[in-house]
Each structure stands twice: as structure tokens, then as C-alpha cells.
Amino acid sequence: MNLLIKAAKIIDVSNPELHSKKRDILIKNGKIEKIAAKIAPDHQTETVSLKNLHISLGWFDSGVCFGEPGFEERETIANGLETAAKSGFTDIVLNPNTHPVPDSSSDIVFLKNAAKGQVTGLHPLGTLTMKAQGNDLAELFDMKNTGAVGFYDFKHPMENANLLKIALQYVSNFGGLAYSFPMDAAIAGKGNVNEGESAVRLGLKGIPALAEELRIARDLFILEYTGGKLHIPTLSTARSVKLIADAKKKGLDISCSVAIHNLLYTDSKLEEFDAAYKVMPPLRTKVDTKALIKGVKEGSIDFVTSDHIPMNIEEKQVEFENAAYGTIGLESSFGILNRIFETETAIGLLTKGRERYGMEQPKIKEGEAANLTLFDPEVKYRFEAKNIHSTSKNSMFLGAGLKGKVYGVIHNGRTLF
């Protein structure tokens, strides 16, 4: 692969020498060979010249679901990774939302092998407990050795506080990252939307913010006792942000994420009784959304994630209370973040997070492997079905106004435009 990228504006605040500069970038055999104001093309090199071309480090998503194995009709690994690449992502962390769940080293090997040869890198999470049932720890050390970047019973609360304590103590021996989904099941009960005015008006059962906040408070006490590394995925309330911020001030090794849809929409969307907006954790209030955005800007929230969860049409087009949780979000991630934040901030959010999972952060530098995303941040458009590359089409963003278009990615010695 020999490519000459012409007149690309580089967005990389970590590299002040190149940030906001227009440069030609020559890539040979998957590596950045030269970066200069002008590079003359030769007959062996393909030239890439695009309107308002911007370039950044390849984007990273810390929370993506596909379907394979078990739910291939929702999404295969191959099409899921192609969708991620077309959405600008060169690396994704794969949630253990399959059947069977990956709770052994052989499961992790299967996932890694299924992703070989793809432009986008797949970094799997194993489950924290056997079959994600919360009773016995899974093969954590063996899974780590075969490529698992963390351990998570996907969207299942860890009800056994002592088991979480043991897990954190155990993974600290080999630098593993344990997850705990922030939900107290007893308090959440049979709720399926945010407990608030919208739920009362619509006659839907609510999930109190307390269910999330109480669980986070418990987990932080355990982390303070045990040490180790803990990740809290997909915060949704204002008080959760404060709890995490206070824990970081104490020096605890804690990280967290927020789903992009919780930054954009509130529970007022439920007035439409559209199951596309049924997610877990649920859409919350305007106060929560503002606090989450502030937490992202101030760094209390470490990562934003698409929380991409493909679901079949029959799992969504049923009565609201019986519908499955989840929305796809890879294709719309950039357009939403670039709408909420300034472009530099949006790109910063899309390129951070790899180090938390033991991955090396790429660099835009001569001699380095090319791990790049190409885009135009100014294009405005309405998100439509034709913009969806996923097999499943359960997007809550259909009809939303987005800002920014992905041209393609370069990674693993391959390109996808």
C-alpha cells in the first residue's frame, strides 16, 4: 500500500508541530514515510485528494457490540468491523454480548481469529464471571493472556459485593481491568425508563437515578479497599459524575464512559413511545445531560462510546415494555460529537482511551505505522437509513441533524474509503 495524501489538515493537539497544519503525507507499506508541505507523487503511489480533507489519529470506541457468535443475524464480526471502519474507527473494544459469552481463553482466541485481516482492530472483553451469571469468576488470567483487554458481565449488575472485591484483588496481580455495570437491580426493579415526569405521564415504570448512584458509591468503596483498576461503563446521571470526580481526587484507579446518546437526548423523547429510544441506562433529564457534557469537558468522564448494540427488527417493533434495549451508534458517532462539541474536542474524545486497555497510542510521525482517520468536519446532513452500514437498523438517530463526514481509514497496512 503506497498512498500520498494531499493537503490534509492535521488535527492532533498532542503534536503542536503538526496540529492545524496542512501537510502532504506519504505512506509506504503501511508506514508514514514522509510528512511535508509538498510531496511530489510518483507512478507507484496512489494520490488521495479530497475536499476539505482533515486527518487525525485513528478513532477508538471503548464499547461496541456485534452478534457473532450466536446472534449473527444482528451483526457478524466481519460486517461489524467494516461498519466501524466506514464510521472512522480503527480500533474497537468488543463487549461480551454474544451466545455463548466469552468466558474462557478459547472464546477470546475465536474472536481474535474472526477479526484477522480487517482494517479495524478488534479488542475483546471477556466476561468477569462464568456465563456472566455473577456466581464464579471466569478464566480471567487465561483470557488476559490470549488478548482480552478487560472483564465485563455486559449490562449485568454485579450483585455480589464480595465477588467484586475478590475480582479486583485478583486482576490487580496482572494489571487487569474489571468492569462493574452501575445498576442496583433491586432498586431498578421492573423499570425500563428514567423515573421522572415523562414516565409518570406515559404510565411507564421508572428506574431511579439512585439505582445507578448507589451502585457506583458501593463499587468505589470496594475499589478503595482493594486497589486494582475499575471501569464504570455508561454513566447517565449528574450525581454519578460527581461520585467519579471525587474518587479521582482521592487517587483511585477509576475510569468511566458515557454513551453518546445520553449526551444528546433526554427522556422527553419517550413521548413518541418509540422503542428506538429504549436504552440501558435510560435517557435521563436535561440536568443530567448537562452534567454529563460538563463531565466530559472537565475530564471526570474519561471516554465517550457509541454503545453500539444491533438488534433485530422484531426485538424493537413490539410494545415498548417488551422491546429490547439498545441502539446502533457507530455510523452517527462523529456527526453527533462534532455537533455537540468543537471539532478539536470531538476528535480528542474519539482518539483517547487506548492506554487504559493496554494498547499503544498511535502517532502521526515519520516512521510510525499509519493509523489514521480521514474526514470533513463541516458537512451537515440529516442521518437517514442510507447512512446505516450495520445489518441491524435500530438507530435512534434517524432524522437527526449531524455535522461531519468520514472519508475513510488507514490501519493494519490496509485502507477503506
Active site residues: 307
Burial 254-291 (b: 16+ CB within 10 A, else e): bbbbbbbbbbbbbbebbeeeebbbbbbbbbbbeebbeb
Residues 6+ apart with CB under 8 A from 324: 275, 278, 311, 315, 316
pLDDT over threshold 90, residue 272: no
Residues 119 and 224 in one domain: yes
Q: C-alpha grid cell for residue 59?
A: 478513532
Label residue 271 by pLDDT band (50, 70, 90): confident
Residues 330 and 390 in one domain: no
Cell 441502539 belongs to which residue?
327
DSSP 143-194: HHHTT---B--TT-----HHHHHHHHHHHTTTT-EEE-----HHHHTT--EE
Q: C-alpha grid cell for residue 238?
A: 449528574
HSE-up of 398 (CA within 13 Å, CB side)?
Answer: 14
**pTM of the predicted model, to two decimals?**
0.97
Cell 485481516 belongs to which residue?
117
| Nearest CA-CA partner of 364 in 1, 54, 26, 15 | 15
What is the domain-level CATH number for residue 46? 2.30.40.10
What is the domain-level CATH number for residue 163? 3.20.20.140
Lowest mean pLDDT among 201-205, 254-258, 342-346: 201-205
Residues 62 and 50 in one domain: no
Residues 379 and 292 in one domain: no
Q: What is the C-alpha to C-alpha distance for residues 3 and 370, in angstroms, rounded to an integer?
A: 11
Residues 6+ apart with CB under 8 A from 311: 74, 324, 326, 392, 394
Q: Tell me the average pLDDT across 383-403.
A: 98
Residues 394 and 254 in one domain: no
Residues 296 and 386 in one domain: no
Q: C-alpha grid cell for residue 169?
A: 484483588
Q: What is the C-alpha to C-alpha distance for residues 33 and 368, in angstroms, rounded to an integer?
A: 8
Residue 273 vs residue 168, higher pLDDT: 168
- The pLDDT of residue 394 is 97
| Residue numbers of the domain that contains 286 | 58-357
Label residue 43 by pLDDT band (50, 70, 90): confident
Total domains in the chain come to 2
Q: C-alpha grid cell for residue 193?
A: 425508563
pLDDT, tens digit, for every residue of 169-210? 999 999 999 999 999 999 999 999 999 999 999 999 999 999
Residues 318 and 391 in one domain: no
pLDDT, tens digit, for every residue of 129-172? 999 999 999 999 999 999 999 999 999 999 999 999 999 999 99
Burial 67-99 (b: 16+ CB within 10 A, else e): bbbebeebbbbebbbbbbbbbbbbbbbbbbbbe
Residues 6+ apart with CB under 8 A from 221: none
- The pLDDT of residue 118 is 97
Residues 335 and 406 in one domain: no
pLDDT over threshold 90, residue 42: no
pLDDT, tens digit, for every residue of 49-72? 999 999 999 999 999 999 999 999
Domain stops at, among 340, 357, 374: 357
Q: Which residues pair with 270 in a beta bridge?
A: none
pLDDT over threshold 90, residue 28: yes
Q: Tell me the average pLDDT across 29-41.
A: 96
Residues 315 and 381 in one domain: no
Per the CB < 8 A criterion, the answer to whether 369 and 20 are in contact is no
3-state secondary structure of 106: helix
Domain stops at, among 339, 357, 375: 357
Residues 209 and 147 in one domain: yes
Query: Could you give the percent of the chain with pLDDT greater than 90?
Result: 98
- The pLDDT of residue 219 is 98
Residues 37 and 102 in one domain: no
Q: What is the C-alpha to C-alpha distance for residues 384 and 401, in angstroms, rounded to an integer?
A: 10
pLDDT, tens digit, for every residue of 118-130? 999 999 999 999 9
Residues 281 and 406 in one domain: no
